[in-house]
């Protein structure tokens, strides 16, 4: 087997050399039958100098492979497990089995209890959410891990009743009771509110009302919130601040918001307006530029916004419309799905000397 590693230069023609983007992570989904093994994925993440990743389970192969690496990992309690782990003893068993054997060699920094439970089609899950979160946290406390591992749950932006203008942000009334309990937990434990925010969805649903440039971080007039007079030049930051205002309405305005998922599909069905290679490349390239400056939103300009890109790979077994299988930056064979400016030069040198290039045009990453 020929071992080919990546040599990158972290360079923008406008920005010069920047060593590392500490607020950037990536979602490593595994819903595919042709994905590379975890050790090759680790090689790729290391070469890209990405130090944060999120997985949607507690795959023991991934947890074992990522041991003694520099990757901080968020793992997931799958939705169907919530009725079980709401029981404190079951939660303790879960943490003892899925977390403790791997930590601290594997840098598990977060546990996502479910995914988008507040808006899940199975509405019965919502009643289990907060008890499950509390039980998982209690298990971490019992095992002495709570100081190292945060507990939260990623939320769809659909949890908001109102998102425009940002200062009018509010949660849907039917979830406000459980949401208040959830926010109280986050506030008491210092954990973040995770939001899956996709400007693509808003643009797809209203392409005649929403500026594509505004959704893609391109130069545009933006919008001024009529109540706060804050100027927004992109939709993602407006969505994040709408979440902050929604939390404030329930009395929890001090909680940090992190973007657990954002991205743009490179391909879609005929009715999925805007799902193109060009738009995906522009969105992610512009988002990377913003991340390199470690900037915050207009409401919280001095608080660096942590963002996890969705996703590392195209996943061919995901259900739903074509777009769902085309969010990846990479194809399973290591070929870039499109050029966001991350480019590779094959070399036999160690990945420890790798850095990221955002200027070269090469589009192939070799995964042996």
Catalytic positions, please? 116, 261
Q: Could you give the count of Cα atoms lying within 13 Å of 44 in the half-sphere of its Cβ?
A: 27
E-strand stretches of the chain: 5-7, 11-12, 16-17, 24-27, 52-54, 72-77, 107-113, 150-152, 154-156, 160-162, 170-171, 193-196, 223-224, 231-232, 257-262, 307-309, 345-347
Q: CA angle at residue 339 from 338 to 341, to 5 degrees?
A: 155
CB-based contact 351:366 (threshold 8 Å): no
Long-range contacts of 84-87 (CB under 8 A, 24+ apart): 85/113, 85/132, 85/135, 85/136, 86/128, 86/131, 86/132, 86/135, 87/135
């Amino acid at each position: 087997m020929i071992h080919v590693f990546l040599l990158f230069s972290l360079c923008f023609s406008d920005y010069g050399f920047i060593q590392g983007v500490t607020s950037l992570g990536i979602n490593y989904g595994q819903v595919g039958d042709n994905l590379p093994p975890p050790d090759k994925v680790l090689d790729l993440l290391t070469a890209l100098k990405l130090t944060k990743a999120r997985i949607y389970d507690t795959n023991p192969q991934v947890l074992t492979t990522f041991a003694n690496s520099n990757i901080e990992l968020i793992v997931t309690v799958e939705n169907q497990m919530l009725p079980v782990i709401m029981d404190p003893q079951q939660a303790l068993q879960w943490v003892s089995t899925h977390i403790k054997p791997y930590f601290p060699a594997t840098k598990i920094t977060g546990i996502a209890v479910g995914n988008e439970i507040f808006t899940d089609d199975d509405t019965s899950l919502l009643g289990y959410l907060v008890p499950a979160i509390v039980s998982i946290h209690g298990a971490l406390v019992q095992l002495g891990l709570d100081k190292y591992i945060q507990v939260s749950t990623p939320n769809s932006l659909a949890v908001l009743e109102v998102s425009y203008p940002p200062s009018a942000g509010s949660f849907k009334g039917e979830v406000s009771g459980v949401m208040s309990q959830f926010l109280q937990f986050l506030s008491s434990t210092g954990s973040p509110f995770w939001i899956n925010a996709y400007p693509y969805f808003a643009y797809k649903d209203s392409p005649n009302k929403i500026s594509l440039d505004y959704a893609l971080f391109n130069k545009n007039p933006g919008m001024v919130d009529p109540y706060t007079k804050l100027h927004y030049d992109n939709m993602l930051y407006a969505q994040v601040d709408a979440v902050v205002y929604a939390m404030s309405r329930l009395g929890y305005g001090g909680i940090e918001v992190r973007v657990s998922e954002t991205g743009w599909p490179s391909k879609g069905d005929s009715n999925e307006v805007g799902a193109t290679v060009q738009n995906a490349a522009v969105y992610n390239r512009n988002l990377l530029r913003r991340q390199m400056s470690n900037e915050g939103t207009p409401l919280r300009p001095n608080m660096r916004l942590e963002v996890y890109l969705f996703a590392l790979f195209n996943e061919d077994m995901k259900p739903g419309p074509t777009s769902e299988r085309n969010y990846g930056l990479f194809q399973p064979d290591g070929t870039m799905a499109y050029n966001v400016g991350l480019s590779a030069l094959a070399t036999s040198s160690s990945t420890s000397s790798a850095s990221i290039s955002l200027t070269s045009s090469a589009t192939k990453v070799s995964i042996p």
